[in-house]
Chain A
């Protein structure tokens, strides 16, 4: 039984499942969250082009690697969702573990990156670049961490025997929507915050 069962009472206007619609709305809202964070970063970057040179700390290889890992995790997530739709629990678990593992690698890279930057003297309060950079990537990291935690819960839940190809597939799909979104946001951040700094003569 689930919260969505309320609509089982003969309501005909149903177009999209309640939980999925709720997630879409949350993601719409989340777009605005990240939009605000990323624009704050870009505005200050444009305002003070000379104040700080991010290339002093950026490590393109590492960040490209973690971006690639996150992309691959999205791929596994899609496999997990489709496995759940077919009711193949084993394959669902295998792929979910993969997503969790890749998510953790991404987080580890981020922790390493933050530690490295701090060692190089860039902290939250060094300048506006530090403030906007840490807050934006930190918020994204928190999103990834929540996603990993959520998937771990689903993974263990799959051993209770209460998962079925019907209702639980929706739950997994909703988690998948979230995961893909977090991935897309990272690709935008990677482009607009990291890659852009490598364009010669931009600043």
Chain B
């Protein structure tokens, strides 16, 4: 990589005054910036390149997808037969808590972030995101949060081996991994009910929230400001549109959980009364704050998936997306309405008739724009020349499976029906259809579609068909019976059940299905590894696609586009290939000025690293480990130090002259 860059550079010294020889240039601090051409590890740790950051998000997220998957398999194995005692009730609580938390915050959100990062600047014809160093900070803060949240397992293992005993504020508590559900309902989160696991969860989520917020603001600025000339808002690919909507959702929804987590932390560490019943605290307040965040969060998860599908269906139907502006608009409406339905998670708490009716109606209303999208996707297929390539197979799976999840969603939008379904396996069935049948299938479709662009290699063979068969069959065998289980009254979050309720067969079937699904995911991993090792060069545009990212090389060069493209129409590449003469993509002349590239930096990495001692210090302090308060303060200092140096060093930047490349 670095070699080609130097090649690109060498001849250009004559024509540009501000030449950069890819040697690290000094920062305003007087230090040298990281010399990324020397070591691969240093290159990746200090990178500000949105493509590398995206790939790292993706790799880490896939790892956590497997971790969450193993947790789920243990849960399902425990439930396979009645009165099973494979794991204790406490371990079961920890597993379902960490399964949910891991899947939502450490698998799906970063998988979405991987696509945002890799694709958005390419789709809008930009060099990079608006703030490349903040982007790197978001990635490493995410990693720090993931470590903090999972550290509870380490402590729990030490405790099981008899090497650790909680003392201090949570003395006697044995939950050292989170054990109160991904929604952390009060008063379960009080120090008299759960141990340090809750603190790891609070600190970890808080750090992940900072990562998400900084990334989201960065992407809004990128999409609003960094578009190439001619890339009007209504010419943007739908995926970019959905990224914009999701980023705004994050900006406005995350503060609710940040404050709620802060209040909870104060309750646990400093004796406040926000959720402590004895002190007048109201547990219901937590539910409101959590779901004001929580419902927008489910759309934060699913809208990018809808964006992916809206990109893939047109390519493999050889037709433009049916009703582009309506798809965009309904995406925005979903995002907006998403803030007004949170109490449908609280129908059974006694909100009062008026509130219940209002939230019920609003929840039904939100299904309308969702339905509109589904009709638009079907309209895209209608009369198209459909190719059943791997991305298409998964996308079609998405449309169908997501619809099933939507149907059960509408069922519990009706408050009386929900009174039966609430807290039963019916809800589990609902959100796994939208999460696995929806988001997971869409993400896999996205991986099959864009991985050739990311690594420049094309898939080999037809393993993808088997991935599709096993994961779709597995998902249906696992989750369809859960509808019946729920209606038969089986409650969520119980670690075992008695014989004689008619639940045995269904549960066994669910467990078998879970293993089928797991095998599908295993095949996916195998296929990805095969693509890396054996894939043949993909070429720029292996799918005959429509949007701008396919106009660059695969993998794209650091600078994305040698010259800034000028966008004449929606579906820019398609028009360029097949459209009339006046709709071809043209390129701006840079007058020998070259491309301005941002410099790499250690500072975002160092600053984000500071979160680890902060999170671990605060949590271990709660478990009575000595001196941990100082560790937390040390972490804060590292964070502050990193940010200060970051501000002083200046963004730097250098110029490249890629036109030599073409010659």
Q: Which residues of A contact B (CB under 8 A)?
A: 1-16, 18, 21-22, 25-26, 28-30, 32-33, 35-37, 40, 43-44, 47-48, 51, 124-125, 127-128, 130-132, 134-135, 153
> Do B279 and A127 touch (CB < 8 A)?
yes
> Do A132 and B280 touch (CB < 8 A)?
no
Residues from chain A with a CB closer than 8 A to the CB of B281 are 128, 131
Residues from chain A with a CB closer than 8 A to the CB of B127 are 6, 9
Which residue of chain A has the shortest Cβ distance to B228 in the bound complex? Answer: A11
> Do A25 and B251 touch (CB < 8 A)?
yes
Which of B177-185, B217-225, B306-314, B522-530 is the interface stretch? B217-225
> Do B650 and A1 touch (CB < 8 A)?
yes
**A168 vs B260: C-alpha distance when bound (angstroms):** 37
> Do B270 and A10 touch (CB < 8 A)?
no
**A25 vs B595: C-alpha distance when bound (angstroms):** 28
Interface residue ranges of B266-323 to A (CB < 8 Å): 266, 270-274, 279-282, 285, 289
> Do A29 and B271 touch (CB < 8 A)?
no
> Do B133 and A25 touch (CB < 8 A)?
no
> Do B226 and A131 touch (CB < 8 A)?
no
In whole Å, how far is A158's beta carbon from the nearest beta carbon of chain B?
15
> Do B564 and A11 touch (CB < 8 A)?
yes
Residues 229-246 of B, flagged 1 when their CB comes within 8 A of A and 0 if not, give 111100000000000000
Asked if B254 is an interface residue, CB under 8 A from chain A, the answer is yes
Which residue of chain A has the shortest Cβ distance to B593 in the bound complex? Answer: A9
Residues 112-143 of B, flagged 1 when their CB comes within 8 A of A and 0 if not, give 00000000000000111011110000000000
From known contacts A10-B590, A11-B228, A43-B285, infer whether A21 and B131 are also in contact, taking CB-CB under 8 Å.
Answer: no
> Do B259 and A36 touch (CB < 8 A)?
yes
Q: Which residues of B contact A (CB under 8 A)?
A: 126-128, 130-133, 213, 217-218, 220-221, 224-232, 251-256, 258-260, 262-263, 266, 270-274, 279-282, 285, 289, 564, 588, 590, 595-596, 598, 647, 650-653
> Do B224 and A10 touch (CB < 8 A)?
no
Which residue of chain A has the shortest Cβ distance to B219 in the bound complex? Answer: A25
Q: Of A22, A124, A127, which is within 8 A of B270 by CB? A: A124
10 pairs of A and B residues whose beta carbons are closest in the complex? A32-B255, A131-B272, A125-B271, A36-B259, A12-B229, A3-B651, A13-B227, A33-B255, A25-B217, A128-B280
Which residue of chain A has the shortest Cβ distance to B251 in the bound complex? Answer: A29
From known contacts A3-B598, A28-B251, A29-B255, infer whether A11 and B652 are also in contact, taking CB-CB under 8 Å.
Answer: no
**A161 vs B172: C-alpha distance when bound (angstroms):** 60
Which residue of chain A has the shortest Cβ distance to B213 in the bound complex? Answer: A29
- Other 6 A-B pairs with CB < 8 A, given A9-B595, A21-B220, A131-B274: A13-B227, A15-B225, A32-B252, A124-B272, A125-B271, A130-B272
**A37 vs B224: C-alpha distance when bound (angstroms):** 30
Residues from chain A with a CB closer than 8 A to the CB of B131 are 3, 18, 22
Which of A4, A6, A12 has the most chain B CB atoms closer than 10 A to its own CB?
A6
Residues from chain B with a CB closer than 8 A to the CB of A9 are 127, 564, 590, 595-596
Q: Of B224, B227, B228, B652, which is within 8 A of A21 by CB? A: B224
**A30 vs B259: C-alpha distance when bound (angstroms):** 11
Residues from chain B with a CB closer than 8 A to the CB of A124 are 266, 270-272
Which residue of chain B has the shortest Cβ distance to A124 in the bound complex? Answer: B272
Residues from chain A with a CB closer than 8 A to the CB of B218 are 22
> Do B225 and A14 touch (CB < 8 A)?
yes
> Do B220 and A11 touch (CB < 8 A)?
no
> Do B273 and A128 touch (CB < 8 A)?
yes
From known contacts A21-B220, A25-B251, infer whether A5 and B651 are also in contact, taking CB-CB under 8 Å.
Answer: yes
Q: Of B224, B226, B279, B650, which is within 8 A of A128 by CB? A: B279
Which residue of chain A has the shortest Cβ distance to B260 in the bound complex? Answer: A36
Which residue of chain A has the shortest Cβ distance to B131 in the bound complex? Answer: A3
Which residue of chain A has the shortest Cβ distance to B272 in the bound complex? Answer: A131
Sampled A-B contacts (16; CB under 8 Å): A3-B132, A10-B590, A13-B224, A16-B225, A18-B131, A21-B221, A22-B217, A28-B251, A29-B254, A33-B255, A36-B260, A125-B270, A125-B273, A128-B273, A130-B273, A131-B266
In whole Å, how far is A128's beta carbon from the nearest beta carbon of chain B?
5
**A44 vs B288: C-alpha distance when bound (angstroms):** 14
> Do B256 and A125 touch (CB < 8 A)?
no
> Do A125 and B228 touch (CB < 8 A)?
no
**A28 vs B228: C-alpha distance when bound (angstroms):** 26
> Do A135 and B266 touch (CB < 8 A)?
yes
Which residue of chain A has the shortest Cβ distance to B564 in the bound complex? Answer: A10
Which of A2, A18, A124, A131 has the most chain B CB atoms closer than 10 A to its own CB?
A131
> Do B280 and A44 touch (CB < 8 A)?
yes
**A9 vs B232: C-alpha distance when bound (angstroms):** 17
**A135 vs B127: C-alpha distance when bound (angstroms):** 42
Residues from chain B with a CB closer than 8 A to the CB of A43 are 285
Residues from chain A with a CB closer than 8 A to the CB of B651 are 1-3, 5
> Do B256 and A5 touch (CB < 8 A)?
no
Residues from chain B with a CB closer than 8 A to the CB of A7 are 130, 225-226
Residues from chain B with a CB closer than 8 A to the CB of A6 are 127-128, 130, 132, 226, 596, 598, 653
**A135 vs B651: C-alpha distance when bound (angstroms):** 36
Q: Of A1, A14, A32, A135, which is within 8 A of B272 by CB? A: A135
In whole Å, how far is B116's beta carbon from the nearest beta carbon of chain A?
16
> Do A135 and B282 touch (CB < 8 A)?
no
In whole Å, how far is B403's beta carbon from the nearest beta carbon of chain A?
32
> Do B596 and A5 touch (CB < 8 A)?
yes
**A7 vs B259: C-alpha distance when bound (angstroms):** 34
Which residue of chain B has the shortest Cβ distance to A9 in the bound complex? Answer: B596
In whole Å, how far is A64's beta carbon from the nearest beta carbon of chain B?
27
> Do B259 and A37 touch (CB < 8 A)?
yes
In whole Å, how far is A40's beta carbon from the nearest beta carbon of chain B?
7
Residues from chain A with a CB closer than 8 A to the CB of B226 are 6-7, 11, 13
In whole Å, how far is A43's beta carbon from the nearest beta carbon of chain B?
7
> Do B259 and A127 touch (CB < 8 A)?
no
From known contacts A43-B285, A124-B272, infer whether A11 and B255 are also in contact, taking CB-CB under 8 Å.
Answer: no
Residues from chain A with a CB closer than 8 A to the CB of B652 are 1
> Do A15 and B596 touch (CB < 8 A)?
no
Which residue of chain B has the shortest Cβ distance to A1 in the bound complex? Answer: B653
Which of B213, B228, B256, B272 has the most chain A CB atoms closer than 10 A to its own CB?
B272
> Do B263 and A15 touch (CB < 8 A)?
no
In whole Å, how far is B548's beta carbon from the nearest beta carbon of chain A?
14
Which residue of chain A has the shortest Cβ distance to B247 in the bound complex? Answer: A25
> Do A33 and B263 touch (CB < 8 A)?
no
In whole Å, how far is B566's beta carbon from the nearest beta carbon of chain A?
9
In whole Å, how far is A10's beta carbon from the nearest beta carbon of chain B?
5
Which residue of chain B has the shortest Cβ distance to A48 in the bound complex? Answer: B280
**A22 vs B285: C-alpha distance when bound (angstroms):** 31
> Do A125 and B272 touch (CB < 8 A)?
yes
Which of A8, A9, A36, A40 has the most chain B CB atoms closer than 10 A to its own CB?
A9
> Do B229 and A47 touch (CB < 8 A)?
no
Residues from chain A with a CB closer than 8 A to the CB of B224 are 13, 15-16, 21
Which residue of chain A has the shortest Cβ distance to B224 in the bound complex? Answer: A21
Which of A11, A21, A134 has the most chain B CB atoms closer than 10 A to its own CB?
A11
**A11 vs B229: C-alpha distance when bound (angstroms):** 6
